[in-house]
């Protein structure tokens, strides 16, 4: 039985496993999905291609891809000529793969799209468990942005209330894998690696690959995308 429609929702879709599971959760809840992907100058385009595949598979109502070059800002191994760390020890520091204010920018774009189309719900696939320690993935940040959305938009001034949903916030990577499998997510379409080779094969050693591998191993299933090591 199809879930009752909850109306339109904007879903930030990177092409990775977390944003894909988040989108599948939103669809299960009955939202009409409007995917938003940002090509921000990241060092590879593999994940954008994955986002397009996921969007088609989920049957989204629309898929907007925004070109936003963050390379002039730099400061991140994902947008600058800086080596992506491999096999990094988790010492509690924020890694160089952090992109300055990325989720603040992405959520602002999602909010603008939501306001234009009359959507009141925005979904983002951040987690504060089994993650790289990025400050813009923490629950406090998401709560703060929701307050900002409801203070700084014409729609909110007119009485609408925005809700920022982060359904993976308290889930481990293994729990995310399990949730995705229960929703029928095809993880072979998704991409997580920060530093794939020219063919798109994952490095298997960056933070994103290691966290993904950990999730599938702890869930007791094989990653169909083989992100835990080079294909």
Quick: pLDDT tens for 174-210: 999 999 999 999 999 999 999 998 888 899 999 999 9
Contact 167, 183 (CB under 8 A): no
CATH topology assigned to domain 7-219: Rossmann fold (3.40.50)
* Predicted pLDDT at 3: 52
Residue in 95, 97, 102 with CA at minimum distance from that of residue 78: 97
**pLDDT for the residue 93:** 87
Does the pLDDT value for residue 6 go beyond 80?
yes
Tell me the pLDDT tens digit for each residue of 139-153. 999 999 999 999 999
Averaged over 54-69, what is the pLDDT?
A: 97
Determine the pLDDT at residue 1.
Answer: 37
Q: Is the pLDDT of residue 228 over 60?
A: no
How sure is the predictor about 43, in pLDDT bands with cuts at 50, 70 and 90? confident
Please determine, for residue 62, whether its predicted confidence score (pLDDT) is greater than 60.
Answer: yes
pLDDT at 88: 86
Distance CA 193, CA 216 (A): 15
Q: Is the pLDDT of residue 5 over 80?
A: no
Over residues 207-223, the mean pLDDT reads 95
CA 3 – CA 26 distance, rounded (Å)? 11
pLDDT at 90: 77
| Cβ-based neighbours of 180, under 8 Å, separated by 6 or more | 17, 20, 21, 24, 187
Contacts 24+ apart (CB under 8 A), 82-88: 84/43, 84/194, 84/195, 84/203, 84/206, 85/206, 85/207, 86/195, 86/203, 86/205, 86/206, 87/205, 87/210, 88/207
Name the average pLDDT for the chain.
Answer: 93
Residue-level pLDDT at 200: 87
**pLDDT surpassing 80 at residue 4:** no
At residue 17, the pLDDT reads 96
**For residue 122, which of 156, 161, 151, 162 has the smallest C-alpha distance?**
162
Give Cβ neighbours of residue 95 (< 8 Å, ≥ 6 apart). 77, 85, 88, 132, 133, 207
More confident residue, 231 or 90: 90
Instruction: Kindly report, residue by residue over 87-125, the tens digit of the pLDDT.
Output: 888 777 899 999 999 999 999 999 999 999 999 999 999
């Amino acid at each position: 039985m199809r879930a009752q429609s909850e109306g339109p929702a904007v879903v930030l879709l990177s092409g990775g496993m977390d944003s894909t599971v988040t989108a599948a959760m939103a669809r299960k809840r009955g939202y009409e999905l409007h995917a938003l992907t940002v090509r921000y100058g990241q060092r590879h385009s593999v994940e954008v291609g994955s986002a397009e595949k996921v969007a088609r598979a989920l049957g989204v109502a629309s898929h907007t891809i925004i070109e936003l070059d963050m390379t002039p800002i730099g400061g991140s191994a994902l947008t600058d000529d800086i080596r992506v760390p491999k096999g990094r020890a988790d010492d509690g520091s924020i890694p160089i793969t952090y992109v300055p204010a990325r989720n603040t920018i992405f959520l602002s774009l999602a909010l603008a799209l939501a306001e234009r189309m009359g959507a009141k719900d925005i979904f983002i696939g951040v987690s504060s468990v089994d993650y790289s320690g990025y400050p813009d993935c923490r629950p406090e940040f998401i709560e703060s942005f929701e307050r900002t959305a409801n203070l700084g938009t014409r729609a909110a001034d007119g009485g609408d209330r925005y809700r920022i949903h982060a359904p993976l916030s308290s889930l481990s990577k293994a729990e995310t894998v399990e949730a995705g499998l229960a929703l029928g997510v095809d993880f072979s379409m998704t991409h997580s690696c920060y530093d794939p080779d020219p063919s798109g094969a994952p490095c298997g050693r960056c933070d994103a690959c290691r966290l993904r591998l950990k999730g599938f191993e702890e869930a007791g299933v094989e990653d169909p995308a083989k992100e835990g090591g080079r294909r």
